[in-house]
Amino acid sequence: MIKESLVHFHRMKDMPSSHLLGTGTPMCAGCGGLEALHNMYDILGEKTVFVNAAGCMTLLSVYPFTPFRGGWLYTAMASAPAGAQGVRDAMDIRLQKKKLSEDDNMEVVVVTGDGSAYGMGLSATSGAIDRNLDFIYLCYDNEGYGNTGQQYSAATPHAAITSTSKGSHGYPGFKKDLFSIWAANRPAYVATIIGAESLDLAKKIEKLKTMKGPRMLIALAPCPPGWDYDPKLSVEIGRLAVQTGVWPLKEYIDGKVVHTKIPRQRKPVEEYLKLQGRFKHLFHPQRDEQGIAEIQARIDAYWEKVTE
């Protein structure tokens, strides 16, 4: 159990005032994934090796430039957690054989999109958790195969228009519950985060920094080109995702799921939906009352079960 006194971030003014991650990356304006990564990196610090799977963030390090002040290793789409295994094990071996000083030790962080995390990389992730690998996993979840032009993935929410679900009803499937899948593997820590709620995010990173074992994070990543909205709305859409209850902020720790920010007065989900072009068909040319009501009902049903 982590004592509250270990957490430095009580209010916004406690947050770091400068960013570690370099600027000028090729990420899109308003990238929710980059926002989460920025916030996380500031708290993790520069002694961090990022192990990446194929996705948008792969373009962060393009020879000979990188925004990272520590390490970076691009692997492949399916096996970033296995890449982290090799790096962690090698550093542990070198520490043990006195070939690496404690001071030079680094935190190993997998960073992948939802395409890898929810699909192709899930087997490697489950394996890493089985082996109790000491690492952090950040999934930036923009709810589709964003880097290839936002085709639907297992993380795409019901009814969203994607470039492979352009029909009048959007994506017929439902977003996979990766949080529960990960938690069922019983890692040390699982949390949902979002860049727009940076204080909640900071507290979680601070907490997992003191822990060992697999520490897993899913950051909902509002995506202007993929979700079809003006980049200036990214923070607002992120906040609405929390306020409407679409994106519950929670953590799994010591075998228990705890919600870290329960929206007592949930805003209607349409406030979140109507800002995004991918849900436009729910409002135009005419309002799809039934469709909106169904989405609302699923959110309500989720929160009815939430007691803490």
Partner 1 sequence: MTRKLLTGNSAAAWGARLAQVDYIPAFPITPQTEIIEDISIWIDNGEMDARMVTLESEHSMITAAGSAASSGVRVFTSTSSQGLLYGMEMVYTVAGWRVPFVMINVSRGLSAPITLEPDHNDIMAARDSGFLQIHCATCQEITDSVLMAYRLAEHKEIRVPAIVNQDGFYLSFTREPVELPDADKAAAFVGEFDPENLQFKGSAPLSQAMAVLGGGPYSYFRYEAHLAVQRVLSVYDEIADEFADTFGRRYDMIDNYQMDDAEYVFVMMGSFATKAHDAVDSLRNAGWKVGLARLRIFRPFPQEKIRQLLTGRRAVAVIDQNISMGMGGVLHSEFATALYGMKDAPAVLASYIGGLGGRDISQQEFFEMINEIKQACDKGEIPHPRLLYTQNELTEMRKLQAIAQAEHADINQSEIKQKETNKK
Is residue 191 close enough to count as binding partner 1 by CB under 8 A?
Answer: no
One-letter identity of residue 168: S
Which listed residue (31, 34, 43, 82) binds partner 1 by CB under 8 A? 82
- Please report, to the nearest 10 degrees, the dihedral formed by the alpha carbons of residues 159, 232, 226, 297 taken in order: -20
What φ, ψ does residue 250 adopt, rounded to 5°? -155, 170
Which listed residue (76, 199, 235, 262) binds partner 1 by CB under 8 A? 76
Point out which span in 29-37, 44-52, 173-181, 240-248 binds partner 1 (CB under 8 A): 44-52
* Least distance from partner 1 to the Cβ atom of residue 113, Å: 15
Is residue 306 close enough to count as binding partner 1 by CB under 8 A?
Answer: no
Q: How far is CA 28 from the centre of its chain?
A: 17
Type and span of the H or E element at 259: strand 256-261
Q: Are 158 and 173 in contact (CB under 8 A)?
A: yes
CA pair distance 1, 306, nearest whole angstrom: 21
* Least distance from partner 1 to the Cβ atom of residue 221, Å: 20
Point out which span in 2-10, 96-104, 190-198, 235-243 binds partner 1 (CB under 8 A): 96-104
Q: How far is CA 31 from the centre of its chain?
A: 12
* Least distance from partner 1 to the Cβ atom of residue 105, Å: 6
CA pair distance 162, 225, nearest whole angstrom: 11
Is residue 71 close enough to count as binding partner 1 by CB under 8 A?
Answer: yes
Q: Which residues bind partner 1 (CB under 8 A)?
A: 46-47, 49, 51, 58-59, 61-64, 66, 68-76, 78-79, 81-87, 89-94, 97, 99-100, 103-106, 123-124, 126-127, 130-131
